[in-house]
Amino acid sequence: MASDEERTGGSGGLICGHLADVDEVTPDSEDSCLDCVALGDSWVHLRECQTCGHIGCCDSSKNKHATAHYKATGHPLIRSYEPGEGWWWCYEDEIVFEVEGIGPVR
Protein backbone atom coordinates (compact mmCIF):
# COMPACT_ATOMS: atom_id res chain seq x y z
CA MET A 1 0.00 0.00 0.00
CA ALA A 2 2.17 2.91 1.21
CA SER A 3 5.93 3.01 0.79
CA ASP A 4 8.20 3.51 3.80
CA GLU A 5 8.69 7.18 2.85
CA GLU A 6 4.94 7.72 2.55
CA ARG A 7 4.36 6.06 5.95
CA THR A 8 6.90 8.36 7.61
CA GLY A 9 5.74 11.57 6.00
CA GLY A 10 9.33 11.80 4.72
CA SER A 11 10.66 12.23 8.29
CA GLY A 12 12.29 8.80 8.70
CA GLY A 13 10.12 7.71 11.66
CA LEU A 14 6.65 6.25 11.33
CA ILE A 15 3.86 8.78 11.84
CA CYS A 16 2.07 6.06 13.78
CA GLY A 17 3.61 2.70 14.68
CA HIS A 18 0.42 0.92 13.61
CA LEU A 19 0.93 1.96 9.97
CA ALA A 20 3.45 -0.85 9.57
CA ASP A 21 0.58 -3.34 9.93
CA VAL A 22 -1.70 -1.70 7.34
CA ASP A 23 -2.49 -3.51 4.12
CA GLU A 24 -5.14 -2.81 1.49
CA VAL A 25 -8.65 -3.48 2.76
CA THR A 26 -11.97 -3.92 1.00
CA PRO A 27 -14.77 -1.81 2.49
CA ASP A 28 -17.73 -3.86 3.72
CA SER A 29 -20.11 -1.18 2.37
CA GLU A 30 -19.93 1.34 -0.46
CA ASP A 31 -21.79 4.19 1.20
CA SER A 32 -23.40 3.30 4.52
CA CYS A 33 -22.90 2.18 8.10
CA LEU A 34 -24.49 -1.26 7.94
CA ASP A 35 -24.87 -1.31 11.73
CA CYS A 36 -26.97 1.88 11.57
CA VAL A 37 -28.96 0.49 8.64
CA ALA A 38 -29.78 -2.62 10.70
CA LEU A 39 -31.05 -0.37 13.51
CA GLY A 40 -32.99 1.90 11.16
CA ASP A 41 -30.79 4.85 12.19
CA SER A 42 -28.85 7.45 10.23
CA TRP A 43 -25.25 8.65 10.59
CA VAL A 44 -23.27 11.86 10.16
CA HIS A 45 -19.97 10.67 8.61
CA LEU A 46 -18.37 7.32 7.77
CA ARG A 47 -15.02 5.83 8.80
CA GLU A 48 -13.16 2.82 7.35
CA CYS A 49 -11.22 0.37 9.53
CA GLN A 50 -7.75 -0.11 8.06
CA THR A 51 -7.43 -3.64 9.43
CA CYS A 52 -10.58 -5.25 8.03
CA GLY A 53 -12.52 -2.70 5.94
CA HIS A 54 -15.47 -2.30 8.33
CA ILE A 55 -17.38 0.90 7.60
CA GLY A 56 -18.77 2.52 10.73
CA CYS A 57 -20.31 5.83 11.67
CA CYS A 58 -18.30 8.61 13.33
CA ASP A 59 -18.39 9.80 16.94
CA SER A 60 -20.69 12.69 15.93
CA SER A 61 -23.25 10.04 15.00
CA LYS A 62 -25.69 8.69 17.58
CA ASN A 63 -24.31 5.14 17.57
CA LYS A 64 -20.55 5.72 17.16
CA HIS A 65 -20.11 2.38 15.38
CA ALA A 66 -16.51 3.03 14.23
CA THR A 67 -15.38 3.48 17.84
CA ALA A 68 -17.51 0.52 18.96
CA HIS A 69 -15.75 -1.57 16.29
CA TYR A 70 -12.34 -0.53 17.67
CA LYS A 71 -13.40 -1.39 21.23
CA ALA A 72 -14.69 -4.80 20.13
CA THR A 73 -11.78 -5.74 17.86
CA GLY A 74 -8.76 -3.68 18.88
CA HIS A 75 -8.26 -2.58 15.26
CA PRO A 76 -6.45 0.74 15.89
CA LEU A 77 -6.55 2.66 12.59
CA ILE A 78 -9.41 4.23 10.69
CA ARG A 79 -9.56 6.57 7.71
CA SER A 80 -12.23 9.03 6.84
CA TYR A 81 -14.57 7.41 4.34
CA GLU A 82 -15.97 10.76 3.24
CA PRO A 83 -15.41 11.88 -0.36
CA GLY A 84 -12.36 14.13 -0.63
CA GLU A 85 -11.07 13.53 2.93
CA GLY A 86 -7.69 11.82 3.33
CA TRP A 87 -7.06 11.87 7.08
CA TRP A 88 -6.44 8.90 9.37
CA TRP A 89 -7.02 8.39 13.12
CA CYS A 90 -5.22 6.02 15.47
CA TYR A 91 -7.32 5.12 18.51
CA GLU A 92 -4.33 3.79 20.46
CA ASP A 93 -1.97 6.71 19.82
CA GLU A 94 -4.81 9.26 19.75
CA ILE A 95 -3.34 10.99 16.71
CA VAL A 96 -4.87 12.30 13.52
CA PHE A 97 -2.63 12.44 10.46
CA GLU A 98 -2.39 12.20 6.69
CA VAL A 99 -0.06 9.84 4.85
CA GLU A 100 2.00 11.46 2.10
CA GLY A 101 1.06 10.03 -1.29
CA ILE A 102 -2.15 8.42 -0.02
CA GLY A 103 -5.23 10.39 -0.97
CA PRO A 104 -8.88 10.03 -0.05
CA VAL A 105 -10.46 6.57 -0.13
CA ARG A 106 -13.19 7.88 -2.42
User: Domains plus CATH for the chain?
Assistant: 27-98 (3.30.40.10)
pLDDT of residue 101: 85
How crowded is the C-beta side of 37, counted as CA atoms within 13 Å? 9
pTM: 0.85
What residues contact residue 100 under an 8 Å CB cut-off, 6+ apart?
5, 6, 9, 10
Give which of 35, 23, 22 is closest to 68, Cα–Cα.
35
> What's the average pLDDT block by block, 10 residues per block, for the chain (106 residues)?
45 77 91 98 98 98 99 98 96 94 84
pLDDT of residue 9: 46
